[in-house]
Amino acid sequence: MHSPFDLLAFLLVISAGLATLNFRALKLPMTVGLLIGACAGTVCLVALDGLAPGIGIKPSVRALVVSIDFPATLLRGFLAFLLFAGALQVNAADLFARKWTILALATLGTVLSTGLIAGALLLVSRLLGLALPLPWCLVFGALISPTDPVSVLDVLRRVGMPPTLQAIVACESLFNDGVGVVLFTLALALAVEGPAADTGAFHIATLFAEQAVGGGLVGLALGVIAIGMMRGVDDATVELFISLALATGSYSLAGALGTSGPIAVVVAGLLTGNHGMDSAMSEATRQHLTLFWRLVEEILNALLFLLIGLELVAIDLDGRTILAMLAMIPIALAARWLSVAASAVPLNLRFRSWGPLLILTWGGLRGGLSVAMALSLPAGPAKAPILTIAYGIVVFSIVVQGLTLASLARRVLS
């Protein structure tokens, strides 16, 4: 049994080695380079295990990866810090200028995408003989529909998008996590409990209100308290401690109250990054806070993308599942396009050209949250194909969409 320190040391050593290799040879964005390097290394180990199964390489690596507990690491660890760091960088004026578009994308768009992807997977699975039941197809649609803020925000820094469009992509990805988690919870209850699950319209509306509104109120209340504390001091170190307490405390308290931790920490981060920095911090403190959270985000991003690459060893591939994965990659993109067009375009008449719609579609990256939810599914015949298909979509999203989004933005917005 490896201690947490040993696992952290292992991840940091591998990250440092792959980051150096990427800097010298691949020249890719660091997170993408780490993901590709981890996937390539894992494939080599699995291939070596196939040539010499007596060595037991694959079981050893799988045991190591399982001991990390990726769902718990992301959902109860990294996510609070990454969402807070991302929300700090969002301009509130840009957010409120497109608030209805962002709200429609984060709610209606996520729901539409869930339904479209679920229906498509039901058809694909029947054609290929996988025979996934509809409730499990809904589970897959719910876990793959939210765009991942970790992936999106990393890419946006390298893309010369207009500020307003940048805010739409970033804020949607920050807020639709809560919606996605609620949909995932409902779909999973339906899949596991069957007709006994409470999935009535009133229950769903109540759950959404508890998660979204409750989480927002928790983040707002704690954010106001934290900013008040910051006004009473003029010391960068103390204010950094307050921001750390706010990020972790809002996420934990919201979860304990049965509301959305992601929404709570996003609201707290938005309040701190705008009102807090303007009214409660000196220029020196603002610089220290920004640099600190950017460093935290870079380190956790690197570890997260490395973990996504290592999770390849947890996947059992077979021909039909690979075919389903290849079919669902373009289908997921098409569902994203349709959900964006149906939810956001009617509210934003400036989307008269195809450019912004295309960027919102191609920029809807999936990431660690989808993998974490897939890994958290209970053991059963549906888990393996859902995990494999989700993993393929995530890797394609990060590598292909992430690496080409900048050039696409330059073409369509020029």
Band of residue 154 on the pLDDT scale cut at 50, 70, 90:
low
Domains and CATH numbers, the chain: 4-66 (no CATH), 71-413 (1.20.1530.20)
Q: What's residue 368's pLDDT?
A: 85
| For residue 236, pLDDT beyond 80 | yes
Structure tokens at 207: 């759950």
Among 392, 386, 401, smallest CA distance to 118 is for 386
Q: What's residue 200's pLDDT?
A: 65
Instruction: Name every residue whose Cβ is closer than 8 Å to that of residue 180 and which is 6 or more positions away in sequence.
Output: 110, 142, 143, 145, 146, 369
pLDDT > 70 fraction of the chain, expressed in percent and rounded: 92
Backbone phi, then psi, for 233, in 5-degree steps?
A: -135, 160
Greater model confidence, 253 or 345? 253
Greater model confidence, 137 or 356? 137
Instruction: Output the average pLDDT for the chain.
Output: 86
CB 36 within 8 Å of CB 399:
yes
Q: What's residue 286's pLDDT?
A: 92
Q: What's residue 159's pLDDT?
A: 64
Q: What's residue 44's pLDDT?
A: 85
Q: What's residue 349's pLDDT?
A: 46
Q: How far apart are CA 153 and CA 89, in angstroms?
A: 9
Region 271-292 average pLDDT: 91
50-54, 143-147, 170-174: which range is least confident on average? 50-54
Region 80-100 average pLDDT: 86
Region 169-181 average pLDDT: 84
Q: How far apart are CA 17 and CA 113, in angstroms?
A: 38
Region 258-266 average pLDDT: 90
| For residue 153, pLDDT beyond 90 | no
Q: How far apart are CA 37 and CA 40, in angstroms?
A: 5
Q: How far is CA 118 from the centre of its chain?
A: 19
CB 280 within 8 Å of CB 373:
no
Q: What's residue 196's pLDDT?
A: 59
Residue 55, CB-side half-sphere exposure with 13 Å CA sphere: 11
Band of residue 410 on the pLDDT scale cut at 50, 70, 90:
confident
Q: What's residue 414's pLDDT?
A: 67
| For residue 348, pLDDT beyond 90 | no
Q: Is 245 exposed, middle or buried (0-12, 13-18, 19+ CB in 10 A)?
A: middle
Torsion sign over Cα 56, 60, 61, 66: positive
Region 330-349 average pLDDT: 84
